[in-house]
Amino acid sequence: MATVAVAVATPQIRKSARSSRAMSFFLSHEIGLFSEIAANPAVLECTEIMEPDQKAKHFPVILITGTPGSGKTTHAQLLVQESPIPLQYVNVGDLVKDKGLHEGYDEEWQSYIVDEDKLLDELEPTASAGGLILDWHTCDIFPERWIDLVVVLRCDHTQLWERLEQRNYPINKIQENNESEIMQSVLDEARKSYDHGIIVELRSETTDDLENNVERIVRWILEWRSNHGFKRNPEETIGMNNKKSQES
């Protein structure tokens, strides 16, 4: 039975959000094999060592964003599994629908119009506490003070088109999101909204991309903890590296 993706849109950008999907969805794609991890190689390295602050959050807030179909949920779910520290995962689109954090439904674009004030009020306590992964197709709504790392996932537009077709997106949404990816709209939005030093652009097309990206983010988490004065616990290890060591 075919399913139809229901989107969530901000008042400014009425784009399609994702429907729920399993990890296997991403892993099944074999088109456009790339192993490149793009952009700024230094962005995932922390440099400033700080003394721990009793009032400061102990765990970072990571925003994973990108055009619908770029692999955000897949990355976020795997990161939760592999993270050396506890991280809470929030699919913002699902939260908007489940909590009624919207101003109604736009029939033309088949998307909810997000009530930004309600959404931010809902997320404020969790984001302030830290230890959070936010998964959404847009990023400019979130206060800069919340976010420690912005991961922008990129995908070849032909592969993106096929992914959205598999989700039964209507053709106008596929075209809109495809054009958005070609024009790197989400990346530009991130650069306008946050310090460039916390933004990383990662290729998201293959299984290798997925694993490499998550390992890289895990290393950043450990650096963030160390450089904010928190001692590493014995269980704070890099999950995938351990698995590979056991397999070899």
- Model pLDDT for residues 37-71, shown as the tens digit of each residue: 334 444 454 434 444 444 568 899 999 999 999 99
CB within 8 Å of 87: residues ≥ 6 apart: 59, 62, 79, 80, 131, 132, 133
End-to-end CA distance of the chain: 42
Q: What is the pLDDT, as a whole number, of residue 20?
A: 34
Q: What is the pLDDT, as a whole number, of residue 162?
A: 97
Beta-strand relationship, 149-154 and 199-203: parallel
Q: How far is CA 98 from CA 128, 143, 158, 190, in A?
A: 21, 22, 32, 26
Q: What is the pLDDT, as a whole number, of residue 107?
A: 82
* CATH node for 34-44+56-247: 3.40.50.300
Q: Give the residue numbers of the binding site.
A: 69, 71-74, 167
Would you list the domain boundaries of the chain?
Answer: 34-44+56-247
- Model pLDDT for residues 189-224, shown as the tens digit of each residue: 999 999 999 999 999 999 999 999 999 999 999 999
**Alpha-carbon distance 14 to 111, whole Å?**
7
**Alpha-carbon distance 27 to 105, whole Å?**
32
Structure tokens at 174: 């596929």
Q: Give the residue numbers of the binding site for ATP.
A: 69, 71-74, 167
Per-residue pLDDT of the chain (248 residues; tens, 9 = 90+): 333 333 444 333 333 333 333 333 333 333 332 333 334 444 454 434 444 444 568 899 999 999 999 999 999 999 999 999 999 999 999 999 999 999 999 887 778 999 999 999 999 999 999 999 999 999 999 999 999 999 999 999 999 999 999 999 989 999 999 999 999 999 999 999 999 999 999 999 999 999 999 999 999 999 999 988 887 665 565 444 444 434 44
Looking at 141-247, list the stretches that DSSP marks H as alpha helix, in order from N- to C-terminal side.
157-166, 171-182, 185-193, 207-227, 239-247
Q: What is the pLDDT, as a whole number, of residue 230?
A: 84
108 CB burial (10 A radius; 0-12, 13-18, 19+): exposed
Q: What is the pLDDT, as a whole number, of residue 38?
A: 38
CB within 8 Å of 232: residues ≥ 6 apart: 222, 225, 226
Angle at the Cα of 163 (from 160 to 164), degrees rounded to 5?
A: 90
Identify residue 198 by its one-letter amino acid code.
Answer: I
